[in-house]
Amino acid sequence: MTPELWLIVVGAVVAGFVQGLSGFAFSMVAMSFWVWGIEPRVAAVLAVFGSLTGQLVAVFTTRRGFRWPALWPFLAGGAVGVPVGVAVLPHLNADLFKLTLGCVLVVWCPAMLVSSRLPRVTRGGRLADGVAGGAGGFMGGIGGFTGVVPTLWCTLRGMEKDAHRAIVQNFNLAALSFTMLVAAVPQLLARL
């Protein structure tokens, strides 16, 4: 196997393990490996595919806590954010992409560790939920990171565990499917 293929396999195995434990974060973990040896546009498509596969496996575990009125603002925001992220991806500088991913990991991981002690956000309503969905969609378009912002946002909102999980996993499934449709399918068709 080539070094690139080893990098893909190791990144996917570790990311799959983490997603199996947590229910999300495939893209964040896989990209922390892949960004060092794979062109960002290829790594993004791989990350979206791996994340989507994991979400499809977990889709039947999110029935408790599902409420359509709570989910739709995230989906509406994601529908705007995904095409913007996909449009930005080809113009990203690889070094800037690595730096940005590293910064997101450095900020997001500790934020999630202390999120239970942070003050709850009670303002903004559905519009703020839509903005969180838009940010998640944008990040999904550039690398499959759909759950980063919505996960932190739902935590800061103080949502009950089942409702939080239902929103994040269903949003991830929808946003990753849309990302695959907008980004990966046209690339595959162009190569045929």
| Residue extents of the structural domains in the chain | 3-191
- Grade residue 82 by pLDDT with cuts at 50, 70 and 90: very high
Helices 26-34 & 40-58, crossing angle to 10 degrees? Answer: 150
CA dihedral 79, 49, 145, 69 (to 10 degrees): 40
Of residues 186 and 166, which shows the higher confidence score? 166
- Grade residue 136 by pLDDT with cuts at 50, 70 and 90: very high
- Grade residue 105 by pLDDT with cuts at 50, 70 and 90: confident
6-33: average pLDDT: 83
Residue 93 has pLDDT above 60, yes or no: yes
pLDDT at 72: 95
Mean pLDDT of the chain: 84
One-letter-per-residue 3-state SS of the chain: CCHHHHHHHHHHHHHHHHHHHHCCCHHHHHHHHHCCCCCHHHHHHHHHHHHHHHHHHHHHHCCCCCCHHHHHHHHHHHHHHHHHHHHHHHHCCHHHHHHHHHHHHHHHHHHHHHHHHCCCCCCCHHHHHHHHHHHHHHHHHHHCCCCHHHHHHHHHCCCCHHHHHHHHHHHHHHHHHHHHHHHHHHHHHHHC
User: ∠ CA 184-97-57 to the nearest 5 degrees?
Assistant: 45
Are the C-beta atoms of residues 115 and 70 closer than 8 Å to each other? no
Query: Tens of pLDDT along 57-69?
Result: 777 665 666 788 8
